[in-house]
Amino acid sequence: MAQSRTLSIIKPDATRRNLTGAINSMLEESGLRIVAQKRIRLTREQAEAFYAVHRARPFFKDLVNFMISGPVVVQVLEGENAVERNRTVMGATDPAKAERNTIRARFAESIEANSVHGSDSPENAVSEIGFFFTPAEIVG
- Contact residues for 51 (Cβ-Cβ < 8 A; gap 6+): 60, 63, 64, 67
Active site residue 117: yes
State the binding partner of 119 from ligand ADP, Mg ion, none, CB within 5 to 8 A by kind.
none
Q: Which amino acid is at 127?
A: S
Cα 12 to Cα 15: distance, rounded to the nearest angstrom: 5
**How distant, in Å, are the alpha carbons of 32, 86, 126, 130 from that of 135?**
19, 21, 11, 8
Q: Is residue 103 within 8 Å of 89, Cβ to Cβ?
A: yes
Give first-to-last CA distance, the chain, whole Å. Answer: 15
Q: Does 105 bind ligand ADP (CB under 6 A)?
A: no
State the binding partner of 114 from Mg ion, ligand ADP, none, CB within 5 to 8 A by kind.
ligand ADP
In the window 25-54, what residues touch ligand ADP (CB under 6 A)? 54
In the window 84-123, what residues touch Mg ion (CB under 5 A)? 120
Q: Which of 10, 114, 117, 133 is catalytic?
A: 117
Q: Does 138 bind ligand ADP (CB under 6 A)?
A: no
Cα 15 to Cα 114: distance, rounded to the nearest angstrom: 12
Count residues binding ligand ADP (CB under 6 A). 9
Q: Does 59 bind ligand ADP (CB under 6 A)?
A: yes
Q: Does 111 bind ligand ADP (CB under 6 A)?
A: yes
State the binding partner of 109 from Mg ion, ligand ADP, none, CB within 5 to 8 A by kind.
none
Q: Does 63 bind ligand ADP (CB under 6 A)?
A: yes
Catalytic residues: 117
Which residues sit at the interface with Mg ion, rule CB under 5 A? Answer: 120
